Structure 1
Amino acid sequence: MPSEPWSAPVAAGPVDATVRLPGSKSMTNRALILAALADGPSRLVRPLRSRDSELMAGALRALGADVAEDGDDWLVRPGGLRGPADVQVGLAGTVMRFLPPVAALATGDVAIDGDPYARKRPMGPILEALRALGVRIDDDGRGALPFTVRGRGEVEGGPVTIDASGSSQLISGLLLAAPRFAKGVEVRHEGPPVPSAPHLEMTVRMLREAGVTVETEPDVWRVAPGAIAAREWVIEPDLSNAAQFLGAALVTGGRVSVPGWPADTAQPGDALRGLLAAMGAEVSYAGGTLTVAGTGAFTGLEADLHEVGELTPVLAALAALASTPSRLTGIAHLRGHETDRLAALVAELNGLGGDVRELPDGLEIRPRPLHGGLFRTYDDHRMVMAAALLGLALPGVQVENPATVGKTLPNFTTMWAAMLAPGTRQG
């Protein structure tokens, strides 16, 4: 059930906080897949506990894997993948795209469905790719949820061509299960550029860390068949979830530090360093801690966000409060995310008095005095985060259904309040 609207708190002055982030959703859900297909037990150290990761764990349990809590960790013991099974993916792109290739390795039928809006998210390319690899899938011709994978316990694999311009997850889903295919896989992308390239780099990196041979060239990925090594996966903090906290430093002219920031990472959120600096922030990194300081004023942003589209809602909120215009491009694919994020941002920012125009592949945002009001969130966690950032500067921002942020950051509103409390540090 939707939660009551949340009154986004207004900043009483410059923030000065240290914020410790929970684990990366992207790493957690990739590690869960690899652990469930590994040659022995694996441990996930400090994984994210959120709706998306719990949905992935639940789906793998339904297929026969043992995902058990062990303190702050998860211990995963592979089992014989089997159906019949009913799997719910919620609104989680990683679950709905990563799970079908795994289900194809199960013996028996696996029925997959999700939240109502999930049935609108792009799935056709991965379903057709699996069919080309010999997998039987019944979807009544929709190319979308719900559908049933008729698992036969094995997948032949081999070469396949896919248009993954809608989501890099369509390729990652094939790659993660490919070592268990008899011939591995050669995935060739044909179409407009694949978005979110850092997420593909993360997939390739984690496969290699599990002992899998992966070769890449532009728009081609080859995964050799073989064992996936059981191992310990230490989950990095979710850097994309740092966006709104670091953005608070700009809005309030304060300072926010995030410890545990990896020096070398494939996470798209690492791009926040350059993006926030381009808006006028002072960004420093020392001893594994990233610190962003505001100067009391910040400018708009002109940026191609094709590879880091998930940062768009928070950056758009910052841009609406900036002193100069912004142009955010390369993000047409956001129309197929948790909601049509471009239309949602135009509607809600303009609803608070903004001047935002939708472009064929992005947003144009011009400075204009804003006011409070209801900010609808469309069951999209990033919209909640964007609204909270606006609320720092605008009295009266009411955030619809803040509980939807449980998708990736269940304790968000508590963390937000702690950031604003004078003299406090989280962790």
Structure 2
Amino acid sequence: MASVSLKQVHKTFPNGFEAVKNIDLDVEDGEFVVFVGPSGCGKSTIIRMVAGQEMVTSGEIKINGKQLKEINPKELSMAMVLQNYALYPKLTVEENLAFGLEKRGYPKEEIEARSREVAADLHLADIYNKKPKSLSASQRQRVALGRALILKPDLLILDEPLAGLEKEIRESVVQSMAKKHAEIKNTILYVTHSVKEAKILASQIVVMKRGEVIQKGTYKELYYKPENAFVAEFINEPDINLIDGQYEVLEGRAYITTELGEFYIKLEQKEMEEIHKRKREVIVGIRPEDITLGKGREKDSVRFSKRIEGVLKEEESTLLTMRVANRSFNTLMRGEYKGKADAVEEFCVETDRIYVFDRKTKELILAESKLNIKPNQYCWKS
């Protein structure tokens, strides 16, 4: 298959815009790496440089230990789908899918079998004999994706390959891609704005902002141990709730005061010594799914009452919206909400579910160490 290495890779466009800033990144053979981040953060530029579509301003890119600029294209089993679909207009869907395999001299029977398999996976069977000019944008996008997938390349580079697809088809294709990657185990670099796609597909997620890698890890690592408020907010659907607060240590106890109430944090003496012995401005992060409708636990929790301003029923849950500190504040409950949209309800947030970030640097100060499966255990940064 293929490994990819980026060392101090920098890209500045002729207009002076720094799209990528000194990126160090190693992708192991067989990894499915998904790049996420806001528009213009550099994720598409990175994979275009790996694909050889953009020149590197400085730094080096290696594939299988060899400098990209020294690799003969015939040496590398690579396919890509960038934002220009580039279908052959005079060929049918079937012929577009089969084109790459025919050029590589595959047997007719295998070409036909692979073409029909990909067409079924991408919901193209009913347009198999049509030409691109008669297809919708979604259909053309799926044909371009199929033309890359059918090759089963060692390295597959995909830039927003599902962005324009209908919801049901998109979900089906995501599941199919996850299954195929588990079978083939090729290396995939994938750009998306969808955290849900990244959660399903990625073995590693790279979160980017302003041309830099902010954090890399599995979905579980990014969700439970975000290094800063940006990652915590980005790796969550719906967004994590962020409210201002301050913490202080009084008489050997740590307290975090917020608009919702006062969180009491249990810490060992050694951990207490690592905390600044003064007030500190912070941001408290509370995930919507970690807020309980009702009284919750009596101990180690903060209870508060708020008026419901919005109710949005989702597939297996309900999103409730309220106002806290003049900001929109959400809770995600399982099942259907039985109350009224303007009702005043009681909510509960357990202390071992909060995240605390420095208000100035936005870096993580405290989070429950859920990955160690030890309740009420915390990791601190001083």
Q: Same fold (TM over 0.5)?
A: no
Structure with the bigger percentage of helix = 1
TM-score calculated relative to the size of structure 2: 0.25
Larger RCO: Structure 1 or Structure 2 (Cα < 8 Å, ≥ 6 residues apart)?
1
